[in-house]
Chains A and B, each alone.
Chain A
Amino acid sequence: MWVARVDEGFVFGDLTPASVETLTGVPMLLESADARVRARLLPETCHEADDEEQWRRHAVPELERLFLSRAQLVRRDLATLRKMPKSEHKLLLIPDGHASAWLAALNGARLALYVMHDLDAAAMEPEGFAKATPKQQEALLRIHLLAELQSVLLGDLDLEPSGPFEEFVIE
């Protein structure tokens, strides 16, 4: 995968079929009905039962609506994935205006993968990977890939501007 900065936003290129599969899984993870995912994305917030009930009644439905609309935005951007010339690999543009929603969506998806695969803090360390099951290793690879995208959107990489997306030359 490579990354470029264009006028409209960030371009992620040379996305392998496995990377595309991971990305297309992001909205589904945000919409997951899995109890572990819901418990993590909509955690218990208040100590007192009355306060918690009030929180569930007022704050949680708004959060649920936000996560769904974010999943839809990510899905719309993924629908514009372009096939790269002479390759099965793909190209994704994340517009600047969507970067914040993508950042949160990627975080939610990474947390969902973490709880769905019963991972723990030790598994996130380099030596933890070898001890994980094959399914957990696959989840860890997806978590790390999504973290790479987050790092780019956070501006951790210093990218040179490459002009408008339509004039962007793919070598």
Chain B
Amino acid sequence: MRVRAATKTKTEADTKGKTETQLAKPWNVVVHDDPITLMNYVTKVFMQVFGYGKDKAHRLMMEVHKDGRSIVWTGAREQAEMYAQKLQAHHLLTTLEVVDG
């Protein structure tokens, strides 16, 4: 009994620790280029979803266009997921990635 209890406690602690580490890590919201979506539309969506000013939204759009992708936001996982969902609602090709290091 004692052994089982000890094992259980250890597992819970491990899981909790892993979850906390994952939650603590920031997540990137990444938008990828596609040859269909209009550039002005991408800018408008960035302004609408993130509340970015026109200059910042345009700069990020150009980064997507020229580099093929752009990290448009970084932060807590829950919020990153919310932003990714909003961007996909406008059909922007969006992925999420955990920031390493």
- The interface of chain A, by Cβ under 8 A from chain B, is 40-48, 51, 55, 59, 62-63, 66, 103-104, 107-108, 110-111, 114, 120-121, 124, 143, 147, 150-151, 154, 156
Would you mind naming 10 contact pairs between A and B with Cβ atoms under 8 Å apart?
A43-B88, A45-B84, A47-B98, A55-B81, A62-B85, A103-B41, A107-B36, A107-B37, A111-B37, A150-B38
B97 in the interface (beta carbon within 8 A): yes
Residues of chain B lying within 8 A (CB to CB) of residue A104: 89-91
Size of the chain B interface, CB-CB below 8 angstroms: 21
Would B35 and A45 count as touching, CB distance under 8 A? Answer: no
Identify the 6 closest CB pairs spanning chains A and B, nearest first.
A121-B35, A107-B91, A59-B85, A124-B35, A108-B91, A104-B90
B:56-101 near A, CB below 8 Å: 81, 84-85, 88-91, 93-98
Give Cα A46 to B37, complex, Å.
22
Give Cα A121 to B96, complex, Å.
24
Q: Which secondary structure dominates where chain B touches chain A?
A: mixed
Known pairs A111-B36, A124-B35; A45 contacts B88 (CB<8 A): yes
Q: Which secondary structure dominates where chain A touches chain B?
A: helix
Residues of chain B lying within 8 A (CB to CB) of residue A114: 35-36
Choice from A51, A121, A151 contacting B40 with Cβ under 8 Å: A151
B79 to A: closest C-beta gap in Å = 13
Q: Which residue on chain B has the smallest CB distance to residue A47?
A: B97
Residues of chain A lying within 8 A (CB to CB) of residue B41: 103, 107, 150, 154
Would B36 and A110 count as touching, CB distance under 8 A? Answer: yes
Would B84 and A66 count as touching, CB distance under 8 A? Answer: no
B34 in the interface (beta carbon within 8 A): yes
Residues of chain B lying within 8 A (CB to CB) of residue A51: 96
Q: Which residue on chain B has the smallest CB distance to residue A122?
A: B35
Give Cα A79 to B81, complex, Å.
36
Residues of chain A lying within 8 A (CB to CB) of residue B98: 47-48
Give Cα A43 to B38, complex, Å.
19
Give Cα A45 to B83, complex, Å.
12
